[in-house]
Amino acid sequence: MTACFRKHGLTNFPDPPYADGELNRLGFTKQVVEKYENGACRKYALAAGIVETPAENRQRLEQMLAIAKCMRTHGVVNFPDPSAQGALVMPVSFANEPEYSAAAKICGAPPGLSQRAP
| Amino acid letter, 26 | L
Evaluate if residue 59 carries a pLDDT over 80: yes
Instruction: Give the residue ranges of DSSP H helices in 15-81.
Output: 22-25, 30-37, 42-47, 54-73
What is the residue range of 30's domain? Answer: 2-47
pTM of the model: 0.54
pLDDT at 46: 65
As to burial, measured by CB atoms within 10 angstroms (0-12 exposed, 13-18 middle, 19+ buried), residue 45 is: buried
Q: Is residue 75 situated within a structural domain?
A: yes
> 58 and 37 in one domain?
no
> 95 and 66 in one domain?
yes
> 98 and 61 in one domain?
yes
Name the residue with higher pLDDT: 95 or 71: 71
